[in-house]
Amino acid sequence: QPIAPFTQGQTVVLEDVDTQGVMDEARIMLVPEVVTIQSLADVLNQMGGTPQDLISILQALRRLGAIQVEIETL
């Protein structure tokens, strides 16, 4: 509800609001037991992943103690 001194907003009450979400189709791929960062990147690329996805996965694995890696981002 707008209370800030510089806003011109108004509170509006809506009845019977229907909100829907759409989830993209999930892709599942098996990754070999012995994995290199390159093979992980290759699998993510095949799945349409982004460099940020790879970084997030590596950071999660590092937090879990599953890998010992130093990650630098530019």
Q: Which residues contact 53 (CB under 8 A, 6 or more apart)?
A: 44
pLDDT of residue 25: 77
Q: Please classify residue 43 by burial: count the beta carbons closer than 10 Å to its beta carbon, then call 0-12 exposed, 13-18 middle and 19+ buried.
A: middle
The tens digit of pLDDT for each residue in 6-52 reads 677 777 787 877 777 777 777 777 766 767 888 888 888 888 889 99
pLDDT band at 5 (very low <50, low <70, confident <90, very high): low
The alpha carbon torsion through 47, 32, 34, 39 (nearest 10 deg) reads -30
pLDDT of residue 15: 81
Global pTM value: 0.54
